[in-house]
Amino acid sequence: MKRNLTKALVLMALTAIGVSACDDETKVCNSKTETYASISFKWLDTSGRNDVVKDSILPNLTVLALGEDTLYKRVGGYRAITVPLSGLADSSRFYLKATATGVADTITFRYKRVPHFISAGCGFVNYFNIDTIFSTQNEIDSVFINSKQVTTDNATTLTLFF
């Protein structure tokens, strides 16, 4: 009887170990896998003695990924936006119109794509190392690059001054 009980306990222990070993964690991905360039907006007030930088809320924002799709269409209340960079090319261009009556600007990101392994369940994502950013200066006064790396932390990549 004692021998049968020992065999049963050993069998149950082996079954529990076998079932837990078959758990496939490679199908689960609970990490961030989206990389976006984050753009904040500031207003440069040069009317006084000293230049003053203030947060700017764009009243009627339209953003298009040139050759792709509309990202934001005539929406207001944004202090910052995120835009996706192309994982297939070494540059991305965006059309940005800050106000309903203003002249649109284009912003061009040039970068190097860096494949980054997240996990077996998530696979690889593209990180981006920004080389250069060009913009027209219709409504945009200037561009400041806050971070040359675009990763899954989605930190502010650049600031546009109006």
Under 8 Å between Cβ of 161 and 144: yes
Under 8 Å between Cβ of 154 and 35: yes
Q: How far is CA 26 from CA 18, 21, 33, 74, 127, in A?
A: 17, 13, 15, 42, 22
The stretch 110-126 carries a mean pLDDT of: 94
Asked whether the CA dihedral 25, 28, 30, 36 is positive or negative, the reply is positive
* Bridge pairing between strands 149-150 and 123-135: antiparallel
Residue with the bigger pLDDT between 6 and 77: it is 77
Under 8 Å between Cβ of 112 and 103: no
Please say if the pLDDT value at position 123 is more than 80.
Answer: yes
Residue 54's pLDDT is 81
The stretch 86-106 carries a mean pLDDT of: 93
Residue 67's pLDDT is 84
- pTM comes to 0.76
Band of pLDDT at residue 52, cut at 50, 70 and 90: confident
Residue 80's pLDDT is 93
What average pLDDT is seen over the chain?
A: 85
The stretch 36-59 carries a mean pLDDT of: 82
Distance CA 151, CA 37 (A): 8
